[in-house]
């Protein structure tokens, strides 16, 4: 089965944990999945290398609930390495109602909790929180995002966490919709703790050329993927033109993780298929 699959996939995405070299070799590709805690055990059983969960849900837990979650994570054989949905919609990042004190109180508490869970990467998508109110200056909104990211960078550093900017399609927010815009924001922030995420789904929805990955180079620190036809689990190399995404990741020697962020009606069957697609392809540059 895998040999047959290998003859069909044009390029391998080798994604190694931070600190390991990206190259053609035998190191295990780091493929994870975005799930709630009630699916952690299923993700581990399916063969994922790590799980990624919702940060704002972790922040909303009572202390008793958080202690139970920490105990659950401690029992896993795979890490809770990443967390998405960082800022809830009620905490505004742009517009006239931004409250820096509230922002910082939330960020400090949430990153502290995520550190205790072992999280290394936190995804700043948060389309509702960053949505620019009607009539508000987009330029000023960008300045607000730059200021927010610079203020949270020291907190991220103290907790050993990298915050990654996630560009989102226009249907989900009205600012930072393309990877190129996300890259410009990261460069404007100019802090090593603030880097870029590229999501294949959003990249495709925005009609963006994946060469932007090569432009990002070492500023790219995390990646998501879904089959854009239904935003479902990626299962076959024929369902979408993934090769440009993969080849650009290979080109920059990407060393970060890749998380499946998608829906499925048959996790037990489709999760191993997605892992096989993403992990068991031929080497970078293969035909």
This prediction has a pTM of 0.89
All domains of the chain in start order, with CATH: 2-279 (3.20.20.150)
Q: Does the pLDDT at position 195 exceed 60? A: yes
Q: Look at phi and psi of residue 261 and say left if phi exceeds 0, alpha if psi is from -120 to 50, else beta.
A: beta
- Looking at every residue in the chain, the average pLDDT score rounds to 89
pLDDT category of residue 256 using cuts at 50, 70 and 90: confident
Task: List, for residues 90-116, the tens digit of each pLDDT value.
Answer: 999 999 999 999 999 999 999 999 999
Angle at 54 between CA 155 and CA 269, to 5 degrees: 140
Q: Does the pLDDT at position 203 exceed 60? A: yes
Long-range contacts of 5-10 (CB under 8 A, 24+ apart): 5/237, 5/276, 5/277, 5/280, 5/281, 6/280, 6/281, 6/282, 8/237, 8/238, 9/237, 9/277, 9/281, 9/282, 10/237, 10/243, 10/246, 10/247, 10/282, 10/286, 10/287
Beta bridge partners of 123: 164
Mean pLDDT, residues 8-19 = 33
Instruction: Looking at 85-137, list the stretches that DSSP marks H as alpha helix, in order from N- to C-terminal side.
Output: 100-116, 127-130
Residue 280 or 164, more confident: 164
Q: Does the pLDDT at position 240 exceed 90? A: yes
Q: Does the pLDDT at position 74 exceed 70? A: yes
pLDDT category of residue 255 using cuts at 50, 70 and 90: confident
Token output for 286: 């293969």
Q: Which of 215, 222, 219, 124 is nearest to 167 (CA)?
A: 124
């Amino acid at each position: 089965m895998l040999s047959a699959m290998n003859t069909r996939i044009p390029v391998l995405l080798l994604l190694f944990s931070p600190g390991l070299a990206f190259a053609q070799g035998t190191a295990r590709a780091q493929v994870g999945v975005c799930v709630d805690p009630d699916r952690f055990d299923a993700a581990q059983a399916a063969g994922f290398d790590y799980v990624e969960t919702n940060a704002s849900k972790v922040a909303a837990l009572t202390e008793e609930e958080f202690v139970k979650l920490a105990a659950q994570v401690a029992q896993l054989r795979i890490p809770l390495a990443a967390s998405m949905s960082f800022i809830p919609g009620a905490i505004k990042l742009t517009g006239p109602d931004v409250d820096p004190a509230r922002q910082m109180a939330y960020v400090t508490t949430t990153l502290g909790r995520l550190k205790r869970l072992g999280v290394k990467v936190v995804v700043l998508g948060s389309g509702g929180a960053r949505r620019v109110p009607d009539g508000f200056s987009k330029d000023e909104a960008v300045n607000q995002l730059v200021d927010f990211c610079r203020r949270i960078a020291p907190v991220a550093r103290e907790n050993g966490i990298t915050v990654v900017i996630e560009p989102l399609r226009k249907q989900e927010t009205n600012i930072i919709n393309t990877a190129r815009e996300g890259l410009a924001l990261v460069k404007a922030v100019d802090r090593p703790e603030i880097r870029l995420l590229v999501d294949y789904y959003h990249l495709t929805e925005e009609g963006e050329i994946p060469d932007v990955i090569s432009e990002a180079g070492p500023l790219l620190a995390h990646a998501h993927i879904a089959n854009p036809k239904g935003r479902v689990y990626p299962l076959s190399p024929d369902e979408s033109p993934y090769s440009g995404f993969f080849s650009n990741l290979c080109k920059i020697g990407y060393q970060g993780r890749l998380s499946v962020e998608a829906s499925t009606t048959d996790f037990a069957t489709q999760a191993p298929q997605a892992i096989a697609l993403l992990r068991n392809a031929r080497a970078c540059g293969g035909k």
